[in-house]
Amino acid sequence: MTKVLWVLFAFLLPMVALAGGGSTAEDGGHGVVCERPSSSIPRTIDVQVEILDLYEARKLYGPAHWKNKWLISHDVDNRLLKSACHELKERKLALMKLLSIDAELQAAFDDACEIAATAKIGQHLSLTDDSGELMVKIPHACKVKQFAVYKRTDDRFSVSVDARYIRHFTELELAALLLHESLHTSFPRGSTVAIRQFVMYAMASRRFQKANLAPAQIIAGCRCEVDKRAFVSP
Choice between 121 and 234, residue whose per-residue pLDDT is larger: 234
Average pLDDT score over residue span 80-91: 80
DSSP state of 141: T
Of the chain, the percentage scoring pLDDT greater than 90 comes to 38
Alpha-carbon gap, residue 57 to 173, rounded angstroms:
12
Asked whether the beta carbons of 159 and 16 are under 8 A apart, the reply is yes
Question: How far are the Cα atoms of 41, 42, 131, 206 from residue 9, in angstroms, in the given order?
Answer: 29, 31, 10, 19
For residue range 10-60, what is the model confidence (pLDDT) as tens digits? 333 333 333 333 434 556 688 898 888 877 777 778 778 889 999 999 999
The amino acid that residue 147 corresponds to is F
DSSP state of 229: G
Assess whether pLDDT exceeds 70 at residue 4.
no
Alpha-carbon gap, residue 187 to 59, rounded angstroms:
24
Asked whether the beta carbons of 27 and 70 are under 8 A apart, the reply is no
Radius of gyration of the chain (CA): 16
